[in-house]
Amino acid sequence: MPIEVLMPALSPTMTEGNLAKWLKREGDEVHSGDVLAEIETDKATMEVEAVDDGRVGKILVPEGTQGVKVNQPIALLLGEGEDSSALANVASPAPSAAATAVATATATSAPLSSTASPPDPSAAAPRTRGNGHDRRIFTSPLARRMAQQAGLDLAAITGSGPQGRIVKSDIEAAILAARQPAAAPSPPRAAAVAPSIPAAPALTPTSPTLSSKEHVLALAGNPPYIERPLNAMRRVIARRLTEAKQTVPHFYLTIDCEIDELLKIRAELNSRSEAYRISVNDFVIRATALALRQVPAANASWSDEAILQWDTVDIAVAVALDDGLITPIVKQADRKGLAMIANETKDLAARARAGKLKLEEFQGGTFSISNLGMFGVREFAAVINPPHGGILAVGAGEQRPVVKNGVLAVATVMSCTLSCDHRVVDGAVGAQFLAAFKKLVEDPLTMLL
Amino acid sequence: MPETSYDLIVLGGGPGGYVAAIRAAQLGLKTALVEREHLGGICLNWGCIPTKALLRSAEISHILHHLDQFGFSATDIRYDAGKVVARSRAVAKQLSNGVAYLLRKNKVQVFDGHGRLAGKNRLAVAKNSKPVTELAAPHIILATGARARSLPGLEPDGQQVWTYKEAMVPSAIPKSLLVVGSGAIGIEFASFYRDMGAEVTVVEVLDRVLPVEDEEISAFARKSFEKQGIKIHTGATVKALERTGDQVTAHIEAGDKASEIAVEKVILAVGIVGNVEEIGLENTAVKVERTHVVVDEWLRTGEPGIYAIGDLVGPPWLAHKASHEGIICVEHIAGVNDVHPLDIHNIPACTYCRPQVASVGLTERGARDAGYDVRVGHFPFIGNGKAIALGEPEGMVKTVFDSKTGELLGAHMIGAEVTELIQGYTIAKTLETTEADLIRTIFPHPTISETMHEAVLDAYGRAIHF
């Protein structure tokens, strides 16, 4: 039997991606580890590697296809000794893709027999094959079919059956949860499910009718326009940030930091070696990390059961891309020196712009920083990137008049605004963090310790 | 003198209680079991097991009277009712001894006597109304079972009007018999006595025999019983029993029609009631509703530390349900991971009349009433090679699927050996398979089990042999 290569899930929340490019053609020999294709996901371009040796028998999803569902077969590999006649035994790709495809697949789900037997979902069990994310999901056949019919992602459902197997009652609970309005307090099980079903209309934060193209055109009075298609990243940005603004109670604290001393030390450090080039932002990252260490209550996330105060300080740094933004993470930033942070951020940003970040390099983090200083923005308030408890918005360092001991003077001042999730960080905690941050930034030698 | 302090005490040594005790011992709990009569309970001593021994004799009687079709002939076929009963008692005795051995092997301390709750975490044991000992444990499981229900005017006397107990040890097979109630117990006795040569009449208050089974199965069974010569009155009640010498005259009312029938013996099988009396529930928060103890999904009563399982907590009154509840209860007490409450839709039920009846899950009507859009499959034994070769072409299998999800909602069987087959569907239901998995399963040929496969295929318009 030919081996099905399935669309991999490169992140737990990924439900679909774009097939950017095939690196192998039909008939090509492949060996385990060879890169078969590039997948454009939420935030980056990822490579799909072969896990088996063989030959590409058939490419089922042509390159450039948008919105390929996770676990949909994208190609068939022929094993040793198999020729292309083996492909005839494989059902046409559309019905088998129904294994994990959501409601939209119903139109294509005519099985081989003429009876009304629904397509057999167990034939293509939800098992990712392609790049090592090979997590088997234990589920009863009935639960699998019900999840398919309801358009639920099994990977996001917690099983309550024997050994954690997903059973009928889990799917019923998930369906019930998906029907509840997003604002209603959801039971724990529902909470586990909710983020995974962006396709369920009830959970989509923006009402499809209000923001439908038709409606928007009508509201705008039908002026001429060009249409820029939504890529996966744009959809994720829209969904996550809408969700953040609607569900996270934001408040904002702004502080001014004088950075003349910081700029002096930066110039000095950069003149010492060619091995690094430290930016103001690198100082900000280090100061933020150390301040979070001093005020650990600000390095925390909200959950329905408890506030989770993180042991590590992983700083997500927003990087602008041509068509969106991405937040690569400087892990354990409090334990890294300025030179190390500088080199790491430079590398991460370069690879982010090339779309080559690995999943673990941009997923997670405990706190974010967004810096628009280089664009001359004096100060701004950023949207929290859940589940982070806060995000620091960094403005431009500019010369401003300041009053010191009753005397007017000139100093280079950088305004920073902290957006806090009030469920986690209260005003006083946010203020303590900013005070610690300011002290570090204004006395940068302490940052070098 | 055995110890008096335990981790767990089980009151009642039936299939719920002794299984709970053994499982508790396996889990390292110091366990005591109190039983007033005999280990194995009704099931093993006066129910499931001895009736199966009797029905085996009835089956042999049936075969002996149909030898010709298999190429044999015999004359002067006789039986000794005493020997038939003696064999049944010997089988029960052997198994009861087996239970005693198993409890000993697992180091469960058995107390012979009547147990009664005696204050928090305490249970007093008495024998012939004399105190024997008082036991203490933080957890006490009540597994006292149930007994035959009697209706006003229809009280058993043990001589002419029997309950299951007397019906199991007849000194002779009566010439004529009236069975009141056509549930599993009534029908099994009707079938036994009919095959042993008695004239049997069955009266059922509901509109069909085996009323908890699927309607088509009830109809099939009725036809089969009537063909064997059993007279059946449904929608009928026995108003009074009049004892006249060697005979009992039963006054039967069906709608506005009244009739009388004179029989030698009457068997009352009109349901059972829980044994909730004399076990000290009075001063506890244990709640009793309609003779049954109310419990939650983990078999906890309203009183902390007191649990109840089996027939005592209500229908279905089945030994395997009691055993399973015992295990769930004990594992939950012991804090075992991965314990799951009982799913009532996955409890198979068997009736060992001829032809046998077995079922699991929802009936077709039950499924429709629950709002399912159903797909139903049928397959008759006449389309099955093994059934025909055995000379057992009378039977059928019916499956009920949810047409939306393909869930097997219920399966209903009547015919030879179906009680041994129903577990296949039960496994399927427990694993939550859909029709796809059942269709793909290979059933061995030639077996009666192929009818199970065909009944699934038929629900999807794909039956091969019919």
Q: Tabulate helix, strand, coil % of chain A (nearest 5).
A: 35, 25, 40
Q: Chain B neighbours among A 110-129 (CB < 8 Å)?
A: 113, 115-118, 120-122
Residues A165 and A282 in one domain: no
Residue A85 burial by Cβ neighbours in a 10 Å radius (0-12, 13-18, 19+): exposed
For residue A134, being part of any structural domain is answered with no
Q: Is the pLDDT of residue B229 over 50?
A: yes
- CB pair distance less than 8 Å for B434 and A163: no
Mean pLDDT of B27-36: 97
Residue of A nearest to B406 (CA): A142
- CB pair distance less than 8 Å for A142 and B405: yes
For residue A409, being part of any structural domain is answered with yes
Question: What percent of chain A is modeled with pLDDT above 90?
Answer: 37
Q: Tabulate helix, strand, coil % of chain B (nearest 5).
A: 35, 25, 40
Residues A218 and A111 in one domain: no
Q: Chain A neighbours among B 391-430 (CB < 8 Å)?
A: 403-407
Q: How many residues in chain B? A: 466
Nearest to B434 among A141, A162, A163 (CB): A141
**Catalytic residue numbers of B, as ranges:** 445
Residues A347 and A297 in one domain: yes
CA-closest candidate to residue A234, choices A18, A392, A62, A389: A18
Tell whether A426 lies on the interface with B, counting CB pairs under 8 A: no
Give one DSSP letter per residue of B30-53, joined into a string: -EEEEESS-TTHHHHHHSHHHHHH
pLDDT digit string, tens, across residues B400-421: 999 999 999 999 999 999 999 9
What is the nearest CA distance from A115 to chain B, expressed in angstroms?
7
Tell whether A146 lies on the interface with B, counting CB pairs under 8 A: yes
Nearest to B406 among A145, A162, A163 (CB): A145
- CB pair distance less than 8 Å for B432 and A116: no
Residue of A nearest to B341 (CA): A161
Count the helices and strands in chain A (H runs, E runs). 11, 18
Q: Is the pLDDT of residue A207 over 70?
A: no
Q: In this predicted complex, what is the ipTM? A: 0.83
Residues A152 and A193 in one domain: yes
Question: Is A420 strand, coil or helix?
Answer: strand
Nearest to B405 among A122, A145, A161 (CB): A145
Number of structural domains found in chain A: 4
- pLDDT the model gives residue A91: 45
**Catalytic residue numbers of A, as ranges:** 422
Location of structure tokens 């650990």 = A296
H or E, element range at B148? strand B146-148
Residues A388 and A324 in one domain: yes
A80 vs B72: which has the higher pLDDT: B72
- CB pair distance less than 8 Å for B338 and A162: yes
| Strand B8-11 with B139-142, pairing | parallel
For residue A133, being part of any structural domain is answered with no
- For residues B165 and B120, give the distance between their C-alpha atoms in angstroms, rounded to a whole number: 35
Domain that holds residue A35: 3-124
What is the nearest CA distance from B428 to chain A, expressed in angstroms?
10
- pLDDT the model gives residue A44: 66
Q: Is the pLDDT of residue B327 over 70?
A: yes
- pLDDT the model gives residue A180: 57
Q: Is the pLDDT of residue A119 over 50?
A: no
Residues A307 and A418 in one domain: yes
Q: Which of A42-51, A69-78, B152-161, B219-228 has the lowest mean pLDDT?
A: A42-51
Residue of B nearest to A145 (CA): B405
| Strand B265-268 with B139-142, pairing | unpaired
Residues A252 and A239 in one domain: no
Residues A361 and A256 in one domain: yes
| 3-state SS, one letter per residue, for A3-54 | EEEECCCCCCCCCEEEEEEECCCCCCEECCCCEEEEEECCCCEEEEECCCCE
Q: Is the pLDDT of residue A440 over 70?
A: yes
Residues A170 and A155 in one domain: yes
Tell whether B464 lies on the interface with A, counting CB pairs under 8 A: no
Domains of chain B, first to last: 8-148+273-334 (3.50.50.60), 161-270 (3.50.50.60), 355-459 (3.30.390.30)
Residue A393: phi and psi, rounded to 5, are -100, 120
pLDDT digit string, tens, across residues A208-232: 457 778 888 888 888 888 888 777 7
Residues A230 and A254 in one domain: no
Question: Where are the alpha helices (H) located in A84-154, listed in sequence order?
Answer: 93-97, 141-150
Residues A215 and A284 in one domain: no
- CB pair distance less than 8 Å for A142 and B340: no
- For residues A41 and B366, give the distance between their C-alpha atoms in angstroms, rounded to a whole number: 48
pLDDT digit string, tens, across residues B184-228: 999 999 999 999 999 999 999 999 999 999 999 999 999 999 999
- pLDDT bucket at A88, cuts 50 / 70 / 90: low
Residues A340 and A442 in one domain: yes
Q: Are A154 and A137 in contact (CB under 8 A)?
A: yes
Report chain A residues whose CB lies below 8 A from the CB of B427.
none
Question: Is B247 strand, coil or helix?
Answer: strand
Q: Is the pLDDT of residue B341 over 90?
A: yes
Half-sphere exposure of B307 (CA within 13 A, CB side): 30
Question: Where are the alpha helices (H) located in B278-356, listed in sequence order?
Answer: 319-334
Give one DSSP letter per residue of B306-318, joined into a string: EEE-GGGG-SS--
pLDDT digit string, tens, across residues A390-422: 999 999 999 999 998 899 999 999 999 999 999
- CB pair distance less than 8 Å for A161 and B340: yes
Residue A418: phi and psi, rounded to 5, are -95, 125
Report chain B residues whose CB lies below 8 A from the CB of A160.
340
Report chain B residues whose CB lies below 8 A from the CB of A117.
406, 435-436, 439, 460
Tell whether B1 lies on the interface with A, counting CB pairs under 8 A: no
Q: Is the pLDDT of residue A157 over 70?
A: yes
Report chain B residues whose CB lies below 8 A from the CB of A149.
404-405
- CB pair distance less than 8 Å for A142 and B338: no
